Amino acid sequence: MRVILGFALAVCALPCLAGNVYRCPDGSFQDKPCGGGGVVVAKNKPPAQVGADKVCSDAAQRAEQIAKQKAQGVKLETLLDDIDTHSDSYEKKLAEKKFTVDAYKFESAAEAKVSVEAQCVTNKNIAAAAAAQRVEANAGTVAARSAPAFDSAAAERTARDQKCAQYKEELTSVQEQQRGHNSPSSMDSLSKKRRGLEKKLWDLCG
């Protein structure tokens, strides 16, 4: 049975169980051996260490209490009406009522405690995994955003180096032509071209 733990999450290792929990042949849970046999599904443990998951511990104990009240004949409506007498916010009362309705569905206090605790731990693990995925995704986004600037700068440097190499080759060619036998007009044109190439090399390549 899926239990929505809105109230528990508003209220973090696993809590201590009062005793062994048995699953009976009919599928129910109880804190004492079943009449027709049964399987131990949770054993009594020493008190939880400091830093244990208090959220899930409190949720399990609250669900156990509600299930015990049900077994004692307390009506669900009575439990819900009692919540309205609390001085909590509307949102907290609503969450507590939802939790109470879900916990009231269990047939025994032992089943309520084990099931609610297990679901609470599962929910927290899922939330932690989702948070880790968000952190990883955000890191990937930051890296992706910074990559274009890096690639652009590298491409700009490569283009400049290629242009410098081209200007140097053209300047070498002009200088060789100047050493040849050319007409005065050709020499004047080559000189202008050489000066233009030298200026480009100075401005672009330093």
The per-residue pLDDT for range 77-121, each reduced to its tens digit, is: 999 999 999 998 989 989 999 999 999 999 999 999 999 999 998
Decide if pLDDT at 129 tops 90. Answer: no
Beta carbons of 7 and 95 less than 8 angstroms apart? yes
Using one digit for the tens of pLDDT, what is the confidence trace for 3-12? 444 444 444 3
Q: How far apart are CA 189 and CA 183, in angstroms?
A: 10
Q: What is the Cα 125 distance to its own chain's centre?
A: 10
Cβ–Cβ < 8 Å for 193, 177: no
What pTM was computed for the model?
0.46
Mean pLDDT for 183-200 is 82
**Cβ atoms of 112 and 31 closer than 8 Å:** no
Contact between 56 and 124 (Cβ < 8 Å): yes
* All residues at 6 or more sequence positions from 22 whose CB lies less than 8 Å from its CB, including other chains: 29, 30, 31, 32, 33, 34, 38, 39, 40, 41, 110
Q: Residue 2 above 50 pLDDT? A: no
Average pLDDT over residues 60-70: 95
The arithmetic mean of pLDDT across residues 18-40, rounded, is: 69
Q: Can you read off the two tokens belonging to residue 44?
A: 């009594």
Band (pLDDT 50/70/90 cuts) for residue 173 is confident
User: What whole-number distance in Å separates Cα of residue 202 and Cα of residue 24?
Assistant: 91
